[in-house]
Amino acid sequence: MKKSILFLAVLFLVSTGFAQKKTKKSSTVAMSAKTDSKLNIREKITRPEGKGWFIYGTAGYGIPFISTNKFSPFKEVGNKDWYQSPTSLSVKPIYGTLGGGWAASLGWGHMFNKYIGIDILHTIAFHPNRLDARINTTVDLGGGKIASYYAEEYTEIKPAIYLNPHLVMHWDNGKRFGITGKAGLCMPIGGVPISRAKIVDHSGRLLSTLAGLPVIPLTILADFSSEYTATAKTKLNPTIGVSASIAFDVRLFKNVWAFAEMRVQAYTISPKETIFTEFSLKTESPLLPLIGALTPIPLNIANAAEAPEYLKHFVYKKELTEESNTLRYTTGISLKEIDINKPMEEPALKFNASSLYFNAGVRVNFTQNWDKRRAAKVVPKREAKAARKNK
């Protein structure tokens, strides 16, 4: 009985060992077959024609696009080009945008095939100094007295920086000529509008808008002169616009194309606050002591450091009420109280900064012979990796 049990135990152990050995061998063969099968399947994959990375650069000049009425955020300057004399009158709007000017771009992207891809365009633009608004009036008050008022403002953005992701659509005849279209977003990520305003007032109008005094031609009573100069930088809220272009391509070399492009970059943007970097106000009049007693703001300021916060810092609100910190708007005829050590509150605005660019550029495609590259590099690496796993 003991011999029978011992014989059965030995037979069981031998059978188990043989089975394990066979299973391991089968498993190895299956894994090898699976790997070979996987590699054989991968070998049949062909790279889509035109698939690959590319980079390009452009430079060109832009003009204002979808022009709208321009304006100054300063009420003292207004929102039109107004000329008036005792014998003539001309009041007209100023159309334009804060865009346009010279621009250079660098882009990179990836084509999924010959026709469809994506890219990201980095643009730096220099939007030129242009007139926002102007007032030039001279009124004859009689008795040899006149009331004149001159105010103007110019704004520029140098530089402005944009990030533009696009969907790319390309077609060519397989030889030398092609067309590339793009559509995507425009995202301003840098740039500060710089505005310069100048006012020469011989009527008292400046005090009416700046200090909230009644509109009275002070030169009827006595000589009056006020000169106001300011340079301000405006911080902007984030925004997103649209970017689209069409280009006509000419192949220079196998993977090098030159192109002429027309690109639209359109968006509106609202200011967050305006901070004055330069400021001066000079007022002369025999009535200066009386005027100074009526208004809470100083009438002679040499520079921005001397100016109260109220005059050198604007913040923009969606709505102004009687409680807003401003002398420009009020419900009564009496002067309201303000905090001169806090920013002036102004109604919210929106600037149009759209541009239409005419560019020339060069694109380099990094396409390669995929079959040769795969045979030389990709397949050997995969086979070596599979061999290490089988050890």
pLDDT digits (tens, 9 = 90+) for 244-262: 999 999 999 988 999 999 9
Provide the residue count of the chain.
391
Q: Is the pLDDT of residue 35 over 50?
A: no
Sorted by where each begins, the domain ranges of the chain are 51-373
Q: Check the CA dihedral 17-23-26-30 and report its sign.
A: negative
Query: For residues 275 and 236, is the Cβ–Cβ distance under 8 A?
Result: no
| Residue whose C-alpha is closest to residue 389's, from 34, 7, 1, 149 | 34
How far is the C-alpha of 361 from the C-alpha of 336, rounded, in Å? 59
Q: Is the pLDDT of residue 38 over 50?
A: no
Burial classification of residue 207, based on how many CB atoms lie within 10 Å of its CB (0-12 exposed, 13-18 middle, 19 or more buried): buried
pLDDT by residue (tens digit) across 167-220?
Answer: 999 999 988 999 999 999 999 999 999 999 999 998 888 888 887 666 666 666
| Residue whose C-alpha is closest to residue 246's, from 186, 184, 185, 182 | 182
How far is the C-alpha of 112 from the C-alpha of 378, rounded, in Å? 20
Where does the chain have alpha helices with state H?
A: 2-43, 205-210, 288-294, 309-312, 370-373, 379-390
- pLDDT-derived band of residue 368, with 50, 70 and 90 as boundaries? low
pLDDT given at position 48: 79
| Residue whose C-alpha is closest to residue 124's, from 97, 160, 157 | 160
Structure tokens at 265: 């970059």
Cα distances (angstroms) measured from residue 263 to each of 35, 160, 166, 242 = 50, 16, 12, 11
Domain 51-373, CATH:
2.40.160.20
| Residue whose C-alpha is closest to residue 209's, from 149, 258, 250 | 149
Q: How far apart are the first and last CA of the chain?
A: 45
pLDDT given at position 369: 52
Arithmetic mean of pLDDT over the chain: 84
Q: Is the pLDDT of residue 334 over 70?
A: no
* pLDDT greater at residue 7 or residue 177: 177
pLDDT by residue (tens digit) across 102-156?
Answer: 999 999 999 999 999 999 999 999 999 999 999 999 988 787 788 899 999 999 9
Cα distances (angstroms) measured from residue 261 to each of 56, 171, 230, 321, 362 = 12, 15, 39, 49, 11
User: What's the mean pLDDT in 350-360?
Assistant: 96
